[in-house]
Amino acid sequence: MIAHTEYMQRYTIQKFNKDYPDDTACLEWLYLFFYPDGIECIKCGKITKHHRVKSRPSYSCDVCGHHVHPTAGTIFEKSVTPLKLWFYAVFLMSSTRAGISAKQLERELGVTYKTAWRMFKQIRTMMAESDQLEGIVEIDEAYVGGVQKGQIGGRKMGTNKTAVLGMVERKGRARAKIIPETVSTPTIIPHIREHVHTGAIVMTDQFHPYNVLPQLGYEHHRIHHNIEYVRGLIHTNSVEGFWAIMKMGIRAVYRHVKPKYLQQYANEYAFRYSHRKDDRSMFLTLLSQVRKV
């Protein structure tokens, strides 16, 4: 059984198979993750010893026999797919920079496409993060989807494109939020206030919806891309680099993403960007995002 330790080196498939050889090892990881100090039995009203039930994925109280299911309330609950395959899917989705398609997941796991797509969708829910960005934060918008047609106010528009607001810390984390309506002050500022700390130094281009940022308490600097791309520390190169990774991944791996699913994909690329330099494996970071609802 693997301990919750940090891996300073690359987490390989050999290490994965050694740490998680079967469903029992995966269930044990969940048990230790959710109950590191032991299980408080709801019937006994205190922490009691529990033993693994061989016939089902649960642990039973040694005193009263009450069962606790570590998978309850998680993305693994009531799934007939082996827990080892779920863990392997998490490993695959966290082991590539550009992403992995549901079709590839189907081939790797030996499951149906419908099952692979459902697993794909469920694992992506673990990639949504909400803590606020700090320090120097670059903000920009991009349009993701089909062929662009025309432009409005200097911003390219298209009937089959969806606007996405990107917020990226310099050498740090990223957040990406879709804008289903027209990109304007009322549609983008709430996302900035939610995801960027008011003590942050914000870098943007000259797009007019950002005009109100100083009034909201942000130190705001702008770069005029018609004249220059860098002025000392003032630039938006980091967020543009994030867009390059996200757009390349969607074009090369997913080909086409429907607007109703785009937020999940945006979360996926923001998560990968945010944790690209983690001291420990991105797989262990993502696995530790599992939550009970």
The highest-level CATH class for domain 136-274 is alpha beta
For the ranges 157-166, 193-202, 268-277, the one whose mean pLDDT is highest = 193-202
- CA dist 123 and 286 (Å) reads 9
Type of residue at 54: K
User: What's the rounded mean pLDDT across residues 190-194?
Assistant: 96
Give residues with Cβ within 8 angstroms of 155, minimum separation 6.
Answer: 141, 143, 183, 207
> Does the structure show a pLDDT above 60 at 228?
yes
* pLDDT per residue as tens digits for the range 230-243: 888 999 999 999 99
Query: pLDDT-derived band of residue 249, with 50, 70 and 90 as boundaries?
Result: confident
For residue 225, what pLDDT is reported? 87
Q: Which helix (H) or strand (E) holds 197?
A: none
Type of residue at 153: G
- CA dist 98 and 184 (Å) reads 30
For residue 5, what pLDDT is reported? 41
- CA dist 75 and 87 (Å) reads 11
* pLDDT per residue as tens digits for the range 16-61: 999 999 999 999 999 999 999 999 998 998 999 999 998 889 999 9
Strands 161-169 and 136-145: antiparallel
- CA dist 276 and 129 (Å) reads 15
Angle at CA 202, nearest 5°, toward 200 and 204?
Answer: 170
> Does the structure show a pLDDT above 60 at 255?
yes
Query: pLDDT-derived band of residue 146, with 50, 70 and 90 as boundaries?
Result: low
- CA dist 135 and 170 (Å) reads 8
Residue ranges covered by each domain of the chain = 13-35+70-127+281-287, 136-274
Quick one: what percent of the chain has pLDDT higher than 90? 69
Give the pair of three-digit tokens for residue 162.
């969806």
